[in-house]
Structure 1
Amino acid sequence: MQQRAVETRQLILEAAAEVFDEGGYKAARVSEIMQRAGITQGALYFHFASKLELARTVMLSQRDSVVLPPGPDGLQRLIDTTLLLARELQTNKLLRAGVRLAVEQEEIGFHDDAPYLEWAEVFRDQLTAAASRGQLRSGVEVERLAVLLVGCYTGVQHFSKLSSRRADLPDRIADLWHYMLLGIAPPQVAAEMTVNPDAALAAAG
Protein backbone atom coordinates (compact mmCIF):
# COMPACT_ATOMS: atom_id res chain seq x y z
CA MET A 1 0.00 0.00 0.00
CA GLN A 2 2.84 2.39 0.82
CA GLN A 3 4.47 1.83 -2.59
CA ARG A 4 1.12 2.34 -4.29
CA ALA A 5 0.66 5.63 -2.44
CA VAL A 6 4.12 6.78 -3.56
CA GLU A 7 3.31 5.88 -7.16
CA THR A 8 -0.05 7.64 -7.03
CA ARG A 9 1.53 10.77 -5.61
CA GLN A 10 4.09 10.78 -8.43
CA LEU A 11 1.34 10.32 -11.02
CA ILE A 12 -0.46 13.34 -9.59
CA LEU A 13 2.69 15.46 -9.66
CA GLU A 14 3.43 14.53 -13.27
CA ALA A 15 -0.14 15.22 -14.38
CA ALA A 16 -0.19 18.51 -12.50
CA ALA A 17 3.14 19.48 -14.05
CA GLU A 18 1.70 18.97 -17.53
CA VAL A 19 -1.33 21.11 -16.78
CA PHE A 20 0.60 23.88 -15.00
CA ASP A 21 3.22 23.95 -17.75
CA GLU A 22 0.62 24.28 -20.49
CA GLY A 23 -1.44 27.13 -19.08
CA GLY A 24 -0.04 28.33 -15.78
CA TYR A 25 -1.58 28.16 -12.33
CA LYS A 26 -4.74 30.20 -12.85
CA ALA A 27 -5.88 28.32 -15.95
CA ALA A 28 -5.17 24.91 -14.43
CA ARG A 29 -8.23 22.91 -13.36
CA VAL A 30 -8.09 20.24 -10.67
CA SER A 31 -10.53 18.14 -12.71
CA GLU A 32 -8.08 18.12 -15.63
CA ILE A 33 -5.25 17.04 -13.35
CA MET A 34 -7.40 14.22 -11.96
CA GLN A 35 -8.35 13.08 -15.46
CA ARG A 36 -4.76 12.96 -16.68
CA ALA A 37 -3.58 11.15 -13.56
CA GLY A 38 -6.49 8.72 -13.80
CA ILE A 39 -7.46 9.17 -10.16
CA THR A 40 -10.47 10.15 -8.09
CA GLN A 41 -10.96 13.43 -6.25
CA GLY A 42 -10.52 11.60 -2.97
CA ALA A 43 -7.15 10.21 -4.04
CA LEU A 44 -5.92 13.65 -5.07
CA TYR A 45 -6.97 15.33 -1.85
CA PHE A 46 -5.51 12.49 0.19
CA HIS A 47 -2.09 13.59 -1.05
CA PHE A 48 -2.61 17.34 -1.53
CA ALA A 49 -4.99 19.51 0.47
CA SER A 50 -5.48 22.09 -2.27
CA LYS A 51 -4.51 23.18 -5.76
CA LEU A 52 -2.18 25.71 -4.14
CA GLU A 53 -0.36 23.03 -2.16
CA LEU A 54 -0.04 20.90 -5.29
CA ALA A 55 1.42 23.83 -7.24
CA ARG A 56 3.91 24.61 -4.50
CA THR A 57 4.99 20.96 -4.35
CA VAL A 58 5.54 20.91 -8.12
CA MET A 59 7.56 24.11 -7.85
CA LEU A 60 9.76 22.72 -5.09
CA SER A 61 10.25 19.38 -6.90
CA GLN A 62 12.09 20.82 -9.88
CA ARG A 63 15.57 20.07 -8.53
CA ASP A 64 14.61 16.45 -7.79
CA SER A 65 13.56 15.95 -11.41
CA VAL A 66 17.09 16.48 -12.77
CA VAL A 67 20.16 14.24 -12.46
CA LEU A 68 23.30 16.35 -12.62
CA PRO A 69 25.99 15.39 -15.14
CA PRO A 70 28.95 13.31 -13.99
CA GLY A 71 32.53 14.47 -13.68
CA PRO A 72 34.78 16.11 -11.10
CA ASP A 73 33.35 19.11 -9.30
CA GLY A 74 34.48 22.43 -10.67
CA LEU A 75 33.91 24.92 -13.44
CA GLN A 76 33.44 22.40 -16.27
CA ARG A 77 30.82 20.46 -14.33
CA LEU A 78 29.00 23.71 -13.58
CA ILE A 79 28.96 24.62 -17.27
CA ASP A 80 27.75 21.12 -18.18
CA THR A 81 25.04 21.35 -15.51
CA THR A 82 23.62 24.58 -16.91
CA LEU A 83 23.71 23.24 -20.47
CA LEU A 84 22.01 20.02 -19.38
CA LEU A 85 19.33 22.09 -17.64
CA ALA A 86 18.76 23.92 -20.92
CA ARG A 87 18.10 20.60 -22.64
CA GLU A 88 15.92 19.39 -19.77
CA LEU A 89 13.80 22.54 -19.96
CA GLN A 90 12.93 21.56 -23.52
CA THR A 91 11.51 18.16 -22.51
CA ASN A 92 11.19 17.74 -18.74
CA LYS A 93 7.63 18.78 -17.85
CA LEU A 94 8.15 18.68 -14.09
CA LEU A 95 11.16 20.97 -14.34
CA ARG A 96 9.39 23.31 -16.79
CA ALA A 97 6.31 23.54 -14.61
CA GLY A 98 8.39 24.16 -11.51
CA VAL A 99 10.25 26.97 -13.23
CA ARG A 100 7.02 28.50 -14.55
CA LEU A 101 5.37 28.41 -11.13
CA ALA A 102 8.44 29.95 -9.51
CA VAL A 103 8.19 32.87 -11.94
CA GLU A 104 4.42 33.19 -11.38
CA GLN A 105 4.61 33.10 -7.57
CA GLU A 106 3.40 36.62 -6.81
CA GLU A 107 0.47 36.21 -9.16
CA ILE A 108 -0.40 32.89 -7.54
CA GLY A 109 -0.27 34.26 -4.02
CA PHE A 110 2.78 32.76 -2.34
CA HIS A 111 6.33 33.97 -1.96
CA ASP A 112 9.11 31.40 -1.66
CA ASP A 113 12.68 31.85 -2.84
CA ALA A 114 13.52 28.22 -2.00
CA PRO A 115 13.74 26.99 -5.62
CA TYR A 116 16.11 29.81 -6.52
CA LEU A 117 18.20 29.27 -3.41
CA GLU A 118 18.36 25.53 -4.11
CA TRP A 119 19.83 26.12 -7.56
CA ALA A 120 22.15 28.77 -6.12
CA GLU A 121 23.44 26.11 -3.71
CA VAL A 122 24.04 23.67 -6.59
CA PHE A 123 25.98 26.34 -8.48
CA ARG A 124 27.83 27.47 -5.34
CA ASP A 125 29.10 23.95 -4.64
CA GLN A 126 30.64 23.77 -8.12
CA LEU A 127 32.06 27.29 -7.86
CA THR A 128 33.59 26.45 -4.47
CA ALA A 129 35.30 23.45 -6.04
CA ALA A 130 36.40 25.61 -8.97
CA ALA A 131 37.94 28.16 -6.59
CA SER A 132 39.84 25.44 -4.72
CA ARG A 133 41.24 24.21 -8.06
CA GLY A 134 42.40 27.69 -9.06
CA GLN A 135 39.78 27.96 -11.82
CA LEU A 136 38.43 31.36 -10.74
CA ARG A 137 40.01 34.78 -10.90
CA SER A 138 41.25 36.34 -7.67
CA GLY A 139 38.50 38.39 -6.08
CA VAL A 140 35.57 36.37 -7.41
CA GLU A 141 33.06 35.94 -4.57
CA VAL A 142 31.50 32.51 -4.88
CA GLU A 143 28.29 33.22 -2.97
CA ARG A 144 27.48 36.35 -4.96
CA LEU A 145 28.41 34.75 -8.27
CA ALA A 146 26.15 31.74 -7.59
CA VAL A 147 23.16 34.01 -6.95
CA LEU A 148 24.01 36.13 -10.00
CA LEU A 149 24.20 33.02 -12.19
CA VAL A 150 20.74 31.90 -11.04
CA GLY A 151 19.37 35.34 -11.89
CA CYS A 152 21.04 35.38 -15.30
CA TYR A 153 19.85 31.86 -16.06
CA THR A 154 16.28 32.70 -15.04
CA GLY A 155 16.21 35.71 -17.33
CA VAL A 156 17.79 33.93 -20.29
CA GLN A 157 15.45 30.93 -20.09
CA HIS A 158 12.40 33.19 -19.78
CA PHE A 159 13.47 35.23 -22.81
CA SER A 160 14.09 32.02 -24.76
CA LYS A 161 10.68 30.69 -23.76
CA LEU A 162 8.98 33.82 -25.10
CA SER A 163 11.02 34.11 -28.29
CA SER A 164 11.40 30.48 -29.40
CA ARG A 165 9.59 28.23 -26.89
CA ARG A 166 13.09 27.41 -25.62
CA ALA A 167 14.25 25.94 -28.95
CA ASP A 168 17.36 28.14 -28.79
CA LEU A 169 17.93 27.90 -25.03
CA PRO A 170 21.08 25.70 -25.13
CA ASP A 171 22.72 28.15 -27.54
CA ARG A 172 21.72 31.13 -25.41
CA ILE A 173 23.21 29.51 -22.30
CA ALA A 174 26.38 28.79 -24.29
CA ASP A 175 26.51 32.48 -25.20
CA LEU A 176 26.12 33.37 -21.53
CA TRP A 177 29.16 31.26 -20.66
CA HIS A 178 31.32 32.54 -23.52
CA TYR A 179 31.06 36.02 -22.06
CA MET A 180 30.90 35.14 -18.36
CA LEU A 181 34.08 33.05 -18.54
CA LEU A 182 36.01 36.13 -19.62
CA GLY A 183 35.18 37.78 -16.30
CA ILE A 184 35.41 34.94 -13.80
CA ALA A 185 38.18 32.60 -15.02
CA PRO A 186 41.87 33.15 -15.81
CA PRO A 187 42.49 33.12 -19.59
CA GLN A 188 44.21 29.72 -19.58
CA VAL A 189 41.35 28.16 -17.63
CA ALA A 190 38.68 29.73 -19.82
CA ALA A 191 40.44 28.33 -22.89
CA GLU A 192 40.30 24.82 -21.42
CA MET A 193 36.55 24.86 -20.81
CA THR A 194 34.17 23.14 -23.24
CA VAL A 195 30.95 25.06 -23.80
CA ASN A 196 29.02 22.68 -26.02
CA PRO A 197 25.38 21.69 -25.38
CA ASP A 198 25.71 18.44 -27.35
CA ALA A 199 28.85 17.41 -25.48
CA ALA A 200 27.20 18.13 -22.12
CA LEU A 201 24.19 16.02 -23.07
CA ALA A 202 26.39 13.15 -24.26
CA ALA A 203 28.41 13.25 -21.04
CA ALA A 204 25.22 12.98 -19.02
CA GLY A 205 24.34 9.80 -20.90
Structure 2
Amino acid sequence: MARQLRAEQTRATIITAAAELFDRHGYESTSLSDIVEHAQVTKGALYFHFAAKEDLAHAIMELQSKASHEVTNDLDGRDYSSLETLMRITFGIARLSVEGPIPRAGLRLATEGAAVRPPLKHPFMEWQDIATRKLTGAVKEADVRPDIDVEAVAKSLVSFFVGTRVVGRSLEPVAHQPRRLAEMWHLTIRGLVPVTRRARYLNLAARLEREMRVA
Protein backbone atom coordinates (compact mmCIF):
# COMPACT_ATOMS: atom_id res chain seq x y z
CA MET A 1 0.00 0.00 0.00
CA ALA A 2 2.81 2.42 0.88
CA ARG A 3 4.57 1.61 -2.40
CA GLN A 4 1.38 2.23 -4.37
CA LEU A 5 0.87 5.57 -2.61
CA ARG A 6 4.45 6.65 -3.43
CA ALA A 7 3.91 5.66 -7.06
CA GLU A 8 0.72 7.73 -7.24
CA GLN A 9 2.48 10.70 -5.65
CA THR A 10 5.38 10.41 -8.09
CA ARG A 11 2.97 10.26 -11.04
CA ALA A 12 1.15 13.36 -9.79
CA THR A 13 4.47 15.18 -9.30
CA ILE A 14 5.53 14.37 -12.87
CA ILE A 15 2.21 15.50 -14.32
CA THR A 16 2.31 18.79 -12.41
CA ALA A 17 5.91 19.45 -13.45
CA ALA A 18 5.08 18.71 -17.09
CA ALA A 19 2.02 20.96 -16.93
CA GLU A 20 4.05 23.85 -15.52
CA LEU A 21 6.62 23.53 -18.32
CA PHE A 22 4.06 22.99 -21.10
CA ASP A 23 2.18 26.06 -19.89
CA ARG A 24 5.34 28.14 -19.62
CA HIS A 25 7.26 27.05 -22.71
CA GLY A 26 4.87 25.05 -24.89
CA TYR A 27 4.77 21.39 -25.81
CA GLU A 28 7.41 21.35 -28.55
CA SER A 29 9.92 23.37 -26.52
CA THR A 30 9.70 21.08 -23.48
CA SER A 31 11.75 17.89 -23.40
CA LEU A 32 11.43 14.85 -21.16
CA SER A 33 14.81 15.79 -19.68
CA ASP A 34 13.38 19.18 -18.76
CA ILE A 35 10.45 17.47 -17.04
CA VAL A 36 12.72 15.05 -15.15
CA GLU A 37 14.81 17.95 -13.87
CA HIS A 38 11.81 20.08 -12.93
CA ALA A 39 10.01 17.21 -11.20
CA GLN A 40 13.23 16.14 -9.46
CA VAL A 41 12.69 12.47 -10.33
CA THR A 42 14.79 9.93 -12.19
CA LYS A 43 14.28 9.09 -15.86
CA GLY A 44 13.38 5.60 -14.74
CA ALA A 45 10.57 6.96 -12.58
CA LEU A 46 9.22 9.01 -15.46
CA TYR A 47 9.35 6.11 -17.95
CA PHE A 48 7.68 3.83 -15.40
CA HIS A 49 4.57 6.01 -15.64
CA PHE A 50 4.83 7.54 -19.12
CA ALA A 51 6.39 5.95 -22.19
CA ALA A 52 6.51 9.21 -24.16
CA LYS A 53 5.85 12.93 -23.95
CA GLU A 54 2.59 12.35 -25.80
CA ASP A 55 1.37 10.22 -22.89
CA LEU A 56 2.01 13.08 -20.49
CA ALA A 57 0.11 15.50 -22.70
CA HIS A 58 -2.81 13.09 -22.88
CA ALA A 59 -2.85 12.63 -19.10
CA ILE A 60 -2.99 16.41 -18.62
CA MET A 61 -5.84 16.78 -21.11
CA GLU A 62 -7.72 13.96 -19.38
CA LEU A 63 -7.43 15.80 -16.06
CA GLN A 64 -8.56 19.03 -17.69
CA SER A 65 -11.58 17.26 -19.17
CA LYS A 66 -12.46 15.70 -15.82
CA ALA A 67 -12.27 19.09 -14.07
CA SER A 68 -14.46 20.72 -16.74
CA HIS A 69 -17.04 17.95 -16.41
CA GLU A 70 -17.11 18.39 -12.64
CA VAL A 71 -17.77 22.12 -13.01
CA THR A 72 -20.50 21.51 -15.59
CA ASN A 73 -22.20 18.69 -13.70
CA ASP A 74 -22.23 20.69 -10.48
CA LEU A 75 -23.86 23.69 -12.14
CA ASP A 76 -26.31 21.54 -14.13
CA GLY A 77 -27.65 20.30 -10.82
CA ARG A 78 -28.57 23.77 -9.61
CA ASP A 79 -31.67 25.86 -10.22
CA TYR A 80 -30.17 28.31 -12.72
CA SER A 81 -31.49 29.32 -16.10
CA SER A 82 -29.69 27.87 -19.12
CA LEU A 83 -27.92 31.13 -19.90
CA GLU A 84 -26.84 31.68 -16.30
CA THR A 85 -25.53 28.12 -16.15
CA LEU A 86 -23.50 28.68 -19.32
CA MET A 87 -22.05 31.91 -17.95
CA ARG A 88 -21.14 30.23 -14.67
CA ILE A 89 -19.54 27.32 -16.52
CA THR A 90 -17.24 29.66 -18.45
CA PHE A 91 -16.20 31.45 -15.27
CA GLY A 92 -15.75 28.12 -13.51
CA ILE A 93 -13.49 26.73 -16.23
CA ALA A 94 -11.57 30.02 -16.35
CA ARG A 95 -11.11 29.89 -12.57
CA LEU A 96 -9.50 26.46 -12.94
CA SER A 97 -6.98 27.96 -15.35
CA VAL A 98 -6.20 30.84 -13.01
CA GLU A 99 -5.72 28.56 -10.01
CA GLY A 100 -3.74 25.63 -11.42
CA PRO A 101 -1.12 24.76 -14.04
CA ILE A 102 -2.85 21.61 -15.30
CA PRO A 103 -5.93 23.35 -16.79
CA ARG A 104 -3.68 26.09 -18.19
CA ALA A 105 -1.41 23.50 -19.78
CA GLY A 106 -4.41 21.61 -21.10
CA LEU A 107 -5.64 24.73 -22.86
CA ARG A 108 -2.22 25.45 -24.33
CA LEU A 109 -1.86 21.85 -25.50
CA ALA A 110 -5.26 22.06 -27.18
CA THR A 111 -4.37 25.30 -28.98
CA GLU A 112 -1.02 23.89 -30.08
CA GLY A 113 -2.61 20.87 -31.72
CA ALA A 114 -1.66 18.13 -29.27
CA ALA A 115 -3.20 14.80 -30.29
CA VAL A 116 -6.38 13.84 -28.46
CA ARG A 117 -6.91 10.09 -28.21
CA PRO A 118 -10.41 8.60 -28.29
CA PRO A 119 -12.60 8.24 -26.35
CA LEU A 120 -11.43 11.63 -25.01
CA LYS A 121 -12.98 14.48 -26.99
CA HIS A 122 -11.12 17.61 -27.91
CA PRO A 123 -11.87 20.20 -25.19
CA PHE A 124 -13.07 22.74 -27.72
CA MET A 125 -15.62 20.25 -29.06
CA GLU A 126 -16.76 19.47 -25.51
CA TRP A 127 -17.20 23.17 -24.81
CA GLN A 128 -19.09 23.68 -28.10
CA ASP A 129 -21.47 20.86 -27.15
CA ILE A 130 -22.10 22.48 -23.76
CA ALA A 131 -22.63 25.91 -25.31
CA THR A 132 -25.00 24.52 -27.94
CA ARG A 133 -27.07 22.72 -25.32
CA LYS A 134 -27.31 25.74 -23.02
CA LEU A 135 -28.01 28.24 -25.80
CA THR A 136 -30.78 25.99 -27.09
CA GLY A 137 -32.27 26.02 -23.59
CA ALA A 138 -31.84 29.78 -23.35
CA VAL A 139 -33.80 30.26 -26.59
CA LYS A 140 -36.65 28.16 -25.18
CA GLU A 141 -36.55 30.20 -21.97
CA ALA A 142 -36.70 33.46 -24.01
CA ASP A 143 -33.35 34.66 -22.58
CA VAL A 144 -31.79 34.59 -26.05
CA ARG A 145 -33.33 35.82 -29.28
CA PRO A 146 -35.06 33.03 -31.25
CA ASP A 147 -33.56 34.07 -34.60
CA ILE A 148 -29.97 33.16 -33.74
CA ASP A 149 -28.02 30.29 -35.32
CA VAL A 150 -27.32 28.35 -32.12
CA GLU A 151 -24.50 26.25 -33.56
CA ALA A 152 -22.73 29.25 -35.08
CA VAL A 153 -23.05 31.23 -31.84
CA ALA A 154 -21.73 28.27 -29.82
CA LYS A 155 -18.65 28.00 -32.04
CA SER A 156 -18.05 31.74 -31.90
CA LEU A 157 -18.46 31.80 -28.13
CA VAL A 158 -15.88 29.04 -27.65
CA SER A 159 -13.49 30.81 -30.02
CA PHE A 160 -13.99 34.05 -28.07
CA PHE A 161 -13.50 32.24 -24.75
CA VAL A 162 -10.31 30.47 -25.88
CA GLY A 163 -9.04 33.59 -27.60
CA THR A 164 -9.16 35.67 -24.42
CA ARG A 165 -6.65 33.27 -22.85
CA VAL A 166 -4.45 32.73 -25.90
CA VAL A 167 -4.05 36.45 -26.51
CA GLY A 168 -3.75 37.15 -22.80
CA ARG A 169 -0.94 34.62 -22.42
CA SER A 170 1.30 36.88 -24.48
CA LEU A 171 0.08 40.25 -23.29
CA GLU A 172 -0.98 40.09 -19.64
CA PRO A 173 -1.02 37.98 -16.45
CA VAL A 174 -3.54 35.18 -16.10
CA ALA A 175 -5.06 37.13 -13.19
CA HIS A 176 -6.63 39.45 -15.78
CA GLN A 177 -8.81 36.60 -17.08
CA PRO A 178 -11.90 37.57 -15.02
CA ARG A 179 -11.98 41.02 -16.63
CA ARG A 180 -11.57 39.63 -20.14
CA LEU A 181 -14.29 37.05 -19.55
CA ALA A 182 -16.66 39.70 -18.23
CA GLU A 183 -15.96 41.82 -21.32
CA MET A 184 -16.72 38.80 -23.51
CA TRP A 185 -20.07 38.32 -21.82
CA HIS A 186 -20.96 42.01 -21.91
CA LEU A 187 -20.57 41.98 -25.70
CA THR A 188 -22.33 38.64 -26.10
CA ILE A 189 -25.28 39.61 -23.91
CA ARG A 190 -25.85 42.85 -25.81
CA GLY A 191 -25.93 40.89 -29.07
CA LEU A 192 -28.08 37.93 -28.00
CA VAL A 193 -30.32 38.82 -25.06
CA PRO A 194 -33.61 40.73 -25.49
CA VAL A 195 -33.51 44.23 -24.03
CA THR A 196 -36.05 43.39 -21.32
CA ARG A 197 -33.75 40.69 -19.88
CA ARG A 198 -30.39 42.23 -20.61
CA ALA A 199 -29.82 44.02 -17.28
CA ARG A 200 -30.12 40.78 -15.33
CA TYR A 201 -27.33 39.10 -17.26
CA LEU A 202 -25.07 42.14 -17.46
CA ASN A 203 -25.29 42.38 -13.67
CA LEU A 204 -24.56 38.65 -13.40
CA ALA A 205 -21.41 38.99 -15.54
CA ALA A 206 -20.17 41.79 -13.27
CA ARG A 207 -20.95 39.74 -10.16
CA LEU A 208 -19.19 36.62 -11.46
CA GLU A 209 -16.14 38.72 -12.28
CA ARG A 210 -16.03 40.08 -8.72
CA GLU A 211 -16.48 36.62 -7.21
CA MET A 212 -13.68 35.19 -9.35
CA ARG A 213 -11.34 37.99 -8.32
CA VAL A 214 -12.05 37.40 -4.63
CA ALA A 215 -11.78 33.60 -4.79
Structure 2 length as normaliser, TM-score?
0.78
The alpha carbon displacement at 1:38 in A equals 4.6
Cα pair 1:60 1:115 within 8 Å, conserved? no
Write the mapping of 1:24-43 to structure 2, written as runs, cut at 5 A: 24-43=26-45
Q: What is the one-letter code of the residue matched to 1:169? A: Q
Specify every segment of 5 or more residues in structure 1 that has no aligned partner in the other structure, as ranges: none
Cα displacement string for residues 118-173 of structure 1 (whole angstroms, at most 9, x for unaligned residues): 12223233223323322211122333322211111111221222211233221121
Cross-structure match for 1:128: 136
- Note if 1:102 corresponds to 2:74: no
Out of 183, 187, 195, the residue aligned to residue 205 of structure 2 is 195
- Note if 1:21 corresponds to 2:23: yes
Cα pair 1:83 1:170 within 8 Å, conserved? yes
Give 3-state SS (helix, strand or coil) of 1:81's partner: helix
Q: What is the one-letter code of the residue matched to 2:211? A: A
User: How many residues align structurally?
Assistant: 200
2 CA distance for matches of 1:200 and 1:170? 6
Out of 51, 57, 62, the residue aligned to residue 64 of structure 2 is 62
2 CA distance for matches of 1:55 and 1:160? 22
2 CA distance for matches of 1:188 and 1:145? 21
Cα pair 2:110 2:122 within 8 Å, conserved? no
Cα pair 1:89 1:95 within 8 Å, conserved? yes
Alignment RMSD, CA only?
2.7
Structure 1 length as normaliser, TM-score?
0.81
Q: What is the one-letter code of the residue matched to 2:24? A: E
Cross-structure match for 1:148: 156
Give 3-state SS (helix, strand or coil) of 2:143's partner: coil
Give 3-state SS (helix, strand or coil) of 1:55's partner: helix
Out of 177, 180, 201, the residue aligned to residue 169 of structure 1 is 177
Cα pair 2:145 2:192 within 8 Å, conserved? yes
The alpha carbon displacement at 1:201 in A equals 6.7
The alpha carbon displacement at 1:191 in A equals 1.7
Out of 86, 93, 105, the residue aligned to residue 85 of structure 1 is 93
Q: What is the one-letter code of the residue matched to 1:188? A: T
Give 3-state SS (helix, strand or coil) of 1:19's partner: helix
Q: What is the one-letter code of the residue matched to 2:26? A: G
Give 3-state SS (helix, strand or coil) of 2:142's partner: coil
The alpha carbon displacement at 1:96 in A equals 0.7
Cα pair 2:94 2:177 within 8 Å, conserved? yes
Q: What is the one-letter code of the residue matched to 1:55? A: A
Identity %: 32
